[in-house]
Chains A and B, each alone.
Chain A
Amino acid sequence: MSNTDVSGGDVLTERVPSEFRLGVLASLPVMFGFVPFALVLGAQAVAKGFSAVEVPMLTGLNFGGGSEFAVIALWSSPPHLLLVVGVTLLVNSRHLLMGAALAPYLRCLPRRKALPALFFMCDESWAMGLADAKKRELQGNRSAFSLAYYMGVSLPLWTSWIVFTAIGAQIGPVLGDITVYGFDMAFPAVFLVLLAGMWKGARAALPWLVSLVVAVAVYVLVPGAWYVPAGVVSGTAAAWIGARP
């Protein structure tokens, strides 16, 4: 799209819907990537005792796949609320860095717009919104962040996450019966794919190995879900020591 016309007000109003449309188009390939994750998540949530209403409620209000997989893997009835919140905060702590990186570009927006927009910030919409803002900045635009483009990316992703996790919740019981024998291996499979996506070299992954070893040891020796905080604390401590300046 040509970006040469930044003069008049009516050009601006004309620009907004097309920015939104560009965002929607850019979101489509990502959306296809979401579908299998969403189906598996919905199916696993139902297998852990979530109802068909609770699944889209979880995925629509939380909208963070990694934390949803983690919480469902640890799900018990009744749920351990402290564990749920703690694991959610830890898995989603990367949002803090993402929000901080986006903050300079959001200064052109009032808070009443920026705060609702941030609800939709996932890895993909963040990366695409930031890349778009950087590109626009290079072209000399002062208010570089396009809320319309960002929402064009975000809304289809959010909607498809809700819809396909709900579909996964519906078809999950059927799939569960067919694959009942190895079905439990779906969890580590999903998590290993998520980890592979975070891979930044063997050295950076060393804390993960520390986490794994400590978590396995605590799981064997201590009853309850203590292996999660133990693994997380030892792994992040290893990262802290390894990153010594």
Chain B
Amino acid sequence: MTLAPATLAAILLMALATYLTRIGGYLLLGNRTLSPRVTTVMDTAPGCVLISVIAPHFATGHPADLISLALTALAATRLSLLPTVLIGVASAGLLRNFLPV
């Protein structure tokens, strides 16, 4: 049960940043209309962040990891979170045993 100062600082800054995005639209954008182009970019940005964050998982030469990623991506398109995570974790664990480098 500890609270590290650096972690606390990160949490508080993060909370502030998130709150600013929540009130920013109401305070600044409420009276104007955004161009469709800006709307498209803002719709796309969160996905760009998510895929960039997991990019290191794709930068692997290990066939087991690549097959497992493909299976997980397939699962994500048709299943909910928990089964997808289970498929991802189980397939990675099994394939790494059966397909050693």
Contact = CB atoms under 8 A, between A and B. Distances in A.
- Counting chain B CB atoms within 10 Å of each CB, which of A37, A99, A185, A244 scores highest? A185
Contact of B49 (A40, A99, A232): A232
Contacts of A231: 48-49, 51-52, 55
A115 B23 contact: yes
A85 B54 CA distance: 18
Contact of A179 (B19, B26, B43, B89): B89
Contacts of A63: 18
Given A186-B85, A219-B59, A96 B49 contact: no
- Counting chain A CB atoms within 10 Å of each CB, which of B28, B30, B36, B45 scores highest? B45
A131 interface: no
Interface residues of A, number: 95
Given A212-B52, A244-B37, A67 B26 contact: no
Contacts of A198: 46-47
**A interface secondary structure, majority:** helix
A243 B29 contact: no
Contacts, number: 298
Given A104-B30, A190-B85, A215-B51, A61 B21 contact: no
A87 B13 contact: no
A95 B20 CA distance: 9
A95 B24 contact: yes
B72 A216 contact: no
Contacts of B101: none
A100 interface: yes
B25 A67 contact: no
Given A61-B11, A95-B18, A245-B36, A184 B92 contact: yes
B29 A103 contact: yes
A64 interface: yes
B42 A96 contact: yes
Interface in A223-245: 227-228, 230-232, 235-236, 239-240, 242-245
B15 to A, nearest CB: 4
A216 B56 CA distance: 6
Contacts of A112: none
B99 interface: no
A74 B8 CA distance: 16
Interface string A89-124: 111111111111111101000000011001101000
A33 B81 CA distance: 9
Given A53-B3, A193-B76, A182 B49 contact: no
Interface of B: 1-4, 6-15, 17-31, 34-37, 39-59, 65, 68-69, 72-73, 75-77, 80-82, 84-85, 87-94, 96-97
Given A99-B25, A196-B77, A208-B51, 4 more contacts: A57-B3, A81-B9, A99-B24, A99-B30
22 contacts: A36-B81, A53-B1, A73-B54, A84-B13, A93-B45, A96-B29, A100-B25, A102-B26, A182-B68, A184-B92, A185-B72, A186-B88, A188-B57, A189-B84, A190-B84, A196-B76, A205-B47, A207-B47, A216-B59, A219-B59, A236-B48, A239-B44
